[in-house]
Amino acid sequence: MSLDTSLHQRRRELTRDEMADIPWLALLQASERERAIRELRVSDAAPGDYVCRVGRPVTYWFGVVEGLLKMSSDSADGQTMTFTGVPPGGWFGEGTALKRETYRYNIQALRRSLVAGLPVDTFHWLLDHSIGFNRFVMSQLNERLGQFIAAREIDRMNNPDLRVARSLASLFNPVLYPGVGQVLRITQQELAYLVGLSRQRVNEALATLQSQGMIRIEYGGLRILDLQGLRSAVFSR
């Protein structure tokens, strides 16, 4: 299985409230939705648990109901490159599921998270039978392409304030992560892991962004005030 054994052993059916947090279920016809709900499972991931690992075969299409995951890969010299975080509402791995390939990246929980999984055979059945599901997946693929292009650009940025601004903007993507809304529940240490900076430097960057009216730092998270500003901000230092 692509899930760690412990995660697979902890899988269970979804509650009604958890189903309401699956964005694509509402796009399905009744018979399609019935089959999807019957096959969907969720599992509690502890911090550090791997949901996907490089080289493992795809068996599920995954989404985050609660919590925060990170997508990364390790280079030949042992360096870890983080591509993005995956907050609530985010579904990922559709490209790998479409091609039934092995994973080329790791997905790991940064905090205790509730992860949903749809078996890959059911994923393909929905592609064959549901127009609404097809549109959702196509939208995901299109948005994901832009996200990874942006991630490459962020990785080359030398200005820490700019790196934090662009990384935050990517986490507030309403198409990929509809469960985030206006407030992202994230700690400064978690953001530091995603951005590749020290916690102290991230704290300084957040203070700069708040002073410019782009975000508001709240207890346990960040409130977005100017998403376009985060996407287009220019800093001199």
β-sheet bridge partners, residue 70: 85, 108
Residue 237 falls inside a structural domain: no
CATH of the domain at 45: 2.60.120.10
How much is the pTM?
A: 0.84
Same domain, 51 and 129: yes
Averaged pLDDT, 159-166 = 88
Same domain, 87 and 194: no
pLDDT digits (tens, 9 = 90+) for 53-70: 999 999 999 999 999 999
Can you say whether the dihedral through the CA atoms of 48, 53, 59, 64 is positive or negative? positive
Same domain, 146 and 199: no
Same domain, 143 and 166: no
- End-to-end CA distance of the chain, in Å? 47
Q: Which structural domain, as residue segments, surrounds residue 178?
A: 158-232
Averaged pLDDT, 173-178 = 87
H or E stretch including 84?
Answer: strand 80-86
Where a domain ends, among 115, 130, 151?
Answer: 151
pLDDT digits (tens, 9 = 90+) for 50-109: 999 999 999 999 999 999 999 888 766 666 777 788 999 999 999 999 999 999 999 999
Beta sheet of 60-66, edge-to-edge order: 41-45, 113-119, 60-66, 91-92
Where a domain ends, among 135, 151, 167?
Answer: 151
Q: Give the chain's domain count.
A: 2
- pLDDT of 232 reads 82
* Cα 207 from Cα 194, distance rounded (Å): 18
Residue 180 falls inside a structural domain: yes
Averaged pLDDT, 220-231 = 90
Q: Reply yes or no on whether the pLDDT at 172 is more than 60.
A: yes
